[in-house]
């Protein structure tokens, strides 16, 4: 039991140390030190995490509902009629477990992706001139003048 508790504590410490994705991936201390192409790449990754999380969550909920229906249809007043109904119950139960697992994985994917997308979009604002001036400057214009107050 002591070994398990030590392993669990070290696992939590490892997760806490690797919490900042940009310092682990790019070796920087702040997200504002990343370049625009790096931020665009991370924005794409965050959006793909959101999409994967949504797919896993919705398919998990659907699998759980279908498994519940299959397991419930195999029972007759709480008892199995024959061995074929027991097999249907086991298949429905397995489908329910698969649905719970997919949902349990999909929801954190969705949340982490949305959080990362928000952070990256805020960091990308410093490359957008329309945030400071209210006007969108075309990139092909060349030389520009910026006045800060």
pLDDT of residue 16: 46
pLDDT of residue 101: 94
Each of the 149 residues of the chain gets a pLDDT tens digit; together they read 777 777 666 666 555 444 567 767 777 787 888 888 888 888 999 999 999 999 999 999 999 999 999 988 887 766 666 666 788 888 999 999 999 999 999 999 999 999 999 988 888 888 775 445 555 555 555 555 566 66
pLDDT of residue 105: 92
pLDDT of residue 13: 55
- Give the residue extent of every domain in the chain: 37-129
pLDDT of residue 79: 66
Quote the tokens at residue 118: 């928000």
pLDDT of residue 134: 53
- CA neighbor of 113 nearest in space, from 33, 37, 56: 56
pLDDT of residue 54: 96
CA dist 80 and 86 (Å) reads 6
Q: Are 42 and 133 in contact (CB under 8 A)?
A: no
Q: How far apart are the first and last CA of the chain?
A: 63
pLDDT of residue 18: 47
CA dist 148 and 103 (Å) reads 49
DSSP string, the chain: -HHHHHHHHHHHHHHHHT--HHHHHH--SSGGGS-HHHHHHHHHHHHHHHHHHHHHHHHHHHHHHHHHHHHHHTEETTEESSHHHHHHHHHHHHHHHHHHHHHHHHHHHHHHHHHHHHHHHHHHGGG-THHHHSS---GGG--------
- CA neighbor of 21 nearest in space, from 36, 43, 37: 43
Indicate whether this model's pTM tops 0.75.
no
């Amino acid at each position: 039991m002591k070994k398990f508790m030590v392993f669990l504590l070290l696992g939590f410490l490892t997760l806490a140390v690797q919490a900042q994705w940009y310092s682990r991936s790019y070796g920087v201390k702040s997200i504002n030190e990343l370049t625009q192409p790096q931020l665009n790449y991370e924005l794409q990754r965050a959006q793909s995490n959101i999409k994967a999380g949504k797919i896993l969550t919705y398919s998990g909920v659907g699998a759980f509902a279908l498994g519940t229906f299959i397991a419930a249809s195999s029972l007759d007043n709480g008892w199995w009629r024959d061995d074929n109904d027991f097999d249907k119950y086991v298949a429905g139960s397995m489908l329910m477990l698969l649905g719970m697992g997919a949902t349990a994985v999909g929801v954190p994917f969705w949340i982490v992706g949305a959080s990362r997308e928000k952070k990256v979009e805020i960091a990308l604002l410093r490359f957008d001139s329309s945030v400071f001036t209210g006007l969108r400057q075309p990139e092909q214009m060349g030389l520009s003048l910026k006045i800060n107050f």
